[in-house]
Amino acid sequence: MFISNTTDESPASLPAAPIAAPAPGAGAPPPPIHNGQAYWFKVVARNDGSFSVTNARNNFGKSYLRIEDGRKKDDGRNLLAP
C-alpha cells in the first residue's frame, strides 16, 4: 500500500533536501502516524495496452486507450484525435 500524504497537518516549511530513510532493523523508528482518512487509486491494465484508473475518494474513473502509431486507437465507440 502506498500513502502519498504522510501527514495531514501541513508543516510551516518544507525541507530543502530529501530526508534519508532510516536504517532497517530493530532500531528503526516507528512509522509516522497517519491522522486523516486515506484513499486509494485502483489501476486496471489490460493486455491490449489500455488501462483505467479509479479514485476511491470521489469514485471518479477514467479509461485510456492504447496508443498506436502516435494516434489513439479507435475502438468503434469513440472518434479519437491524436
More confident residue, 19 or 51: 51
Structural domains of the chain, count:
1
Residue 58 lies in a domain: yes
Q: How confident is the model at residue 32 (pLDDT cuts 50, 70, 90)?
A: confident
Assigned domain for 14 exists: no
User: What's the sign of the alpha-carbon dihedral 16, 22, 27, 28?
Assistant: positive
Rounded Cα gap, residues 82 and 72, in angstroms: 6
**Is the pLDDT reported for residue 49 higher than 70?**
yes
Q: Is residue 79 domain-resident?
A: no
- State the residue range of the domain holding 45: 41-67
25 within domain boundaries: no
**Residue 53 pLDDT exceeds 80:** yes
Assess if residue 1 is contained within a domain: no
Query: How far is residue 50 from each of residues 9, 54, 61, 65, measured CA to CA in Å?
Result: 37, 14, 14, 4
Residue 46 domain-assigned (yes or no):
yes
| Residue 13 vs residue 30, higher pLDDT | 30
pLDDT over 60 (residue 2): no
- Confirm whether 27 is domain-assigned: no
To 5 degrees, how large is the angle CA 55–CA 57–CA 58?
Answer: 80
pTM above 0.85, yes or no: no
Question: What is the tens place of the pLDDT at every residue in 62-74?
Answer: 999 987 765 555 5
